[in-house]
């Protein structure tokens, strides 16, 4: 049986607010595996950015740096993750967090 394709509101999950984020849950992002052709550190930052509010991201970035990950990882184009965030209008809090831990723009 073929299901109809969901559109709009039907395909989105309701937002969850005020949920608990333990250190273990935040650190779990550090072990994410990237798809082929994407640097692991870039993939981890992207998933954390998409999955966390600034409050959790503030706690995540020190774990990321302490684990030896590269906060200035670049894509083949030379663009850093900070360059990626600069294209998003609501990314300012995330950019400030990264910059406070040494992130720089690349390309």
The answer to whether the CB of 105 falls within 8 A of the CB of 82 is yes
* Predicted structure pTM score: 0.82
Which residue segment(s) compose the domain that 53 sits in?
A: 22-99
Residue 77 inside a domain? The answer is yes
Residue 74 inside a domain? The answer is yes
pLDDT band at 8 (very low <50, low <70, confident <90, very high): low
| Per-residue CA distances from 44 to 5, 7, 18, 52, 70 (Å) | 30, 28, 23, 12, 10
- The average confidence (pLDDT) of the chain is 89
The answer to whether the CB of 19 falls within 8 A of the CB of 62 is no
74 pairs with which residues across the strands? 80
Which pLDDT score is estimated for 7? 72
Number of domains into which the chain is organized: 1
The answer to whether the CB of 82 falls within 8 A of the CB of 101 is no
For residue 30, give both structure tokens: 């550090």
Given a cut of 90, is residue 97 above it in pLDDT?
yes
Given a cut of 60, is residue 92 above it in pLDDT?
yes
């Amino acid at each position: 049986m073929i299901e109809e394709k969901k559109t709009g509101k039907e395909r989105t999950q309701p937002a969850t607010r005020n949920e608990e984020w333990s250190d273990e849950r935040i650190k779990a992002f550090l072990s994410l595996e990237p798809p082929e052709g994407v640097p692991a550190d870039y993939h981890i930052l992207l998933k954390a950015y998409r999955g966390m509010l600034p409050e959790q991201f503030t706690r995540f970035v020190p774990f990321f740096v302490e684990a030896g990950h590269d906060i200035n990882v670049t894509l083949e184009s030379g663009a850093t993750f900070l360059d990626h965030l600069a294209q998003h209008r609501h990314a300012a809090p995330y950019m400030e967090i990264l910059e406070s831990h040494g992130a720089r723009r690349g390309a």
